[in-house]
Structure 1
Amino acid sequence: MTDYQFIFVDDPIDNVRRITLNRPDKRNALSNALRSELFAALQSADRDDKISVTIIRGAGPCFSAGYDLASDTRQNQPFYTAPGLGNWPRHVVEGGFLIWDLAKPVIAQVHGHCLAGGSELAASCDLVYVADDAKIGYPAVRSISPPDNQFYPWVMGMRRAMELMLTGDAMSGSEAANYGFANKSFPLDMLEAGVLEIAARVAKIPSDLQQINKRAVHRQMEAMGMRQGIRAGTEMQALAMATETTKAFIAQVQGKGLTAALTSRDSTFGDGRTAETLAE
């Protein structure tokens, strides 16, 4: 199996491939280097006749806290996306649909923080299982933009999506399951066993049929406009980058650093780093 720097790949049970995001010291921030390895591993599993389903999870305390904002996301993207305005949100959406369009099912196993780009990655998977106490959300709506991959209305409906978009608040794992973001939540110590049990059941169906089962659901969502709607959302994200609020936040990041900017952003909400500081 290929050696990777930012992910770990194993086959925990027969016919199941597992990809672990492996930057625990950075809360599994999704750099382009990590994303390149992730997409390569997903495509490798899709081509492997011995594999029927793939799990994505995170090492350390969380699934992923989002994209690596300390890096230049324009450089070394894992696949080509046309340049120009909105390159990044279009690139993110194309990556989400790359997972969507794989033949074999992909399962997200979520614990701890699953924020911003982490929530977009999880939402792109076919099945999502979460720890009861996970924290899932898109806090960037408070300071930068709506999501690159605007999945909320499609998986949770208008009212839940609107509340999350207008507050930037995070859902717990149990709330995410109740709202429709996730299939089911588990106590943290039961999450891995629960996901492997589900993966084993999915793997019982031969892949030549399973890929049609997967596409049958996707085609119905596409008939309702999901693919077009999410692609259109990239233009909203690009437009938000031109607002005075976003420009001021970027200036704050450049002047005071990312940690200080995020702490300032969340201070009046009492969550994020603010909540962690108050708990200490």
Structure 2
Amino acid sequence: MAAFKYILVDEPAAGVCRITLNRPEKRNALSNMLRGEMFAALEAADRDPDVRVMILRGAGVNFSAGYDLSSDLSVDHPFHTAGGFGQWPRHVTEGCMRMWDLAKPVIAQVHGYCLAGGSELAVACDLLYVSEDARIGHPVVRAISPPDNQFYPWLIGMRRSMEMMLTGDSLTGREAEAFGLANRCVPLDELEQLVLDVAARIAMVPADIQQINKRAVHRQMEVMGIRTGIRAGTETQMLGALTPSAQEHLASVATNLNQALSDRDRRFGDNRERHG
């Protein structure tokens, strides 16, 4: 297995490849260098005949707080996306589609913050298991734009997704389970074993059959328009980012990232401004 700087890769059980986002000091913020390593590991596992299923999790107290806004996200993309207006949201959604199109299932193991780009990454996985302390959402709507990958209406319906988009509030782990975003929610100390148990059951099915099982579900969602809808959403994301309010916030991000995020969330009392 190749050596990585921003992720850890291990094999906790037969047929199981586990990838850990390993920037806990940055709340596993998704830089393009980390994303490149993650996609390389996922694709290597997909080619490995000994792997039947992959697990994606985060080191430390969070899954991922989102994209690394302290880095230059315009460079070092892990794969090519055609340039022009809306290049970044199209790049993000293409990454999610790459994960959907892997032959082998990917399980997201989510605890703590799973925000913005972190939530987009988690829902790109085929299965999603969360802990009770999870906070899943897209607070970026308070200051910039809707998500790059607009999956919420598809997974939790119009009313609940509308509330999230108009407030930027996050779902708890229990809410994610109740609303159908997550397969199951358990106490934090039970999450890892639950995911390993599910992975072991998946690994008992031959990989050549399992890839058809995975595609069967995706193809039905695609017939209903999910791939077209999510890709169409990239244009509205880019339009949102061009509004005067978004441009003002992005300028403050460039000046002082931590202060800008605190200013965004202070009135709401959550994320980095959450107390207790």
Asked if TM exceeds 0.5, the reply is yes
Shift of 1:241: 1.2
Unaligned residue ranges in structure 2 (runs of 5+) = none
Identical-residue share of aligned pairs (%): 62
Structure-1 separation of matches of 2:196 and 2:251: 44
Shift of 1:267: 1.1
Give 2:47's aligned amino acid. Answer: R
Match of 1:24 in 2: 24
For the pair 1:192 / 2:196, whether they are aligned, the reply is no
Match of 1:241 in 2: 241
Task: Give secondary structure in 1 for the equivalent of 2:274.
Answer: helix
Match of 1:14 in 2: 14
Match of 2:153 in 1: 153
Match of 1:46 in 2: 46
What's the CA shift string for 1:145-197, capped at 9, x where partnerless? 10000110111111111111111001111110111110000100000000000
Task: Give secondary structure in 1 for the equivalent of 2:145.
Answer: coil
Deviates more, 1:244-253 or 1:209-218: 244-253
Match of 1:259 in 2: 258
Match of 1:270 in 2: 269
Structure-1 separation of matches of 2:76 and 2:121: 19
Unaligned residue ranges in structure 1 (runs of 5+) = none
Shift of 1:270: 1.2
Shift of 1:240: 0.7
Deviates more, 1:155-164 or 1:224-233: 155-164
What's the CA shift string for 1:47-100, capped at 9, x where partnerless? 000000000000001000000001111101000001111110000000000000
Match of 2:208 in 1: 208
Structure-1 separation of matches of 2:98 and 2:134: 25
Structure-2 separation of matches of 1:155 and 1:253: 30
Match of 2:37 in 1: 37
What's the TM-score, normalizing by structure 1? 0.97
Aligned residues: 276
Structure-1 separation of matches of 2:16 and 2:268: 41
What's the TM-score, normalizing by structure 2? 0.99
Give 2:39's aligned amino acid. Answer: F
For residues 107-118 of structure 1, what are the structure 2 equivalents within 5 Å? Answer: 107-118=107-118
For residues 77-226 of structure 1, what are the structure 2 equivalents within 5 Å? Answer: 77-226=77-226
Structure-2 separation of matches of 1:39 and 1:253: 27
Q: Aligned-pair RMSD on alpha carbons?
A: 0.7
Structure-1 separation of matches of 2:47 and 2:274: 44
Shift of 1:272: 1.5
Structure-2 separation of matches of 1:5 and 1:133: 27
Structure-1 separation of matches of 2:250 and 2:18: 36
Shift of 1:219: 0.4
Q: Which runs of 4+ in 1 moved over 3 A?
A: none
What's the CA shift string for 1:127-153, capped at 9, x where partnerless? 000001211100000001100001101
Shift of 1:254: 2.5
What's the CA shift string for 1:224-267, capped at 9, x where partnerless? 00000000000000111110110110122233x01111111111
Task: Give secondary structure in 2 for the equivalent of 1:202.
Answer: helix
Structure-2 separation of matches of 1:66 and 1:120: 9
Structure-2 separation of matches of 1:253 and 1:216: 42
Give 1:268's aligned amino acid. Answer: R
Task: Give secondary structure in 2 for the equivalent of 1:90.
Answer: helix
Give 1:70's aligned amino acid. Answer: S
Give 1:171's aligned amino acid. Answer: L
